[in-house]
């Protein structure tokens, strides 16, 4: 199992909808969403995220699917950055 770290643009969405509505790559094991430190996201869940808001996401994928998952996430418009442990 390998980890991929994403920055996900949540602008204009409610709650975790930007992540929940996204397709997942083959081999996905687990994903954890985190609010970045210093985030200005202090609005209610019923209010859309403002421009520039993003979430940190840690994704665990099967080793055999690692490279494909990286390419998949890099191709998505809402994914601002993709990093790995390696």
Q: Collect the ranges in the chain with pLDDT lower than 50.
A: none
Q: What is the pLDDT of residue 7?
A: 94
Q: Which of 35, 38, 43, 29 lies closest to 8, judged by CA?
A: 35
At 47 the pLDDT is: 84
Tell me the backbone φ, ψ of residue 43, rounded to 5 degrees. -90, 170
Topology given in CATH for the domain delimited by 2-39+47-84? Alpha-Beta Plaits (3.30.70)
Give residue 57's pLDDT: 94
Domain ranges of the chain: 2-39+47-84
Quick one: pLDDT at residue 21? 92
How far from 6 is each of 46, 47, 55, 58, 66, CA to CA, in Å? 24, 23, 8, 6, 14
């Amino acid at each position: 199992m390998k980890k991929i770290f994403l920055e996900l643009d949540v602008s204009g969405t409610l709650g975790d909808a930007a992540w929940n509505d996204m397709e997942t790559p083959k081999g996905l094991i687990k994903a954890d969403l985190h609010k970045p430190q210093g985030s200005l996201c202090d609005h209610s869940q019923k209010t859309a995220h403002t421009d520039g808001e993003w979430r940190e996401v840690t994704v665990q994928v099967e080793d055999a699917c690692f490279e494909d998952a990286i390419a998949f996430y890099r191709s998505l418009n809402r994914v601002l950055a993709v990093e790995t442990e390696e």
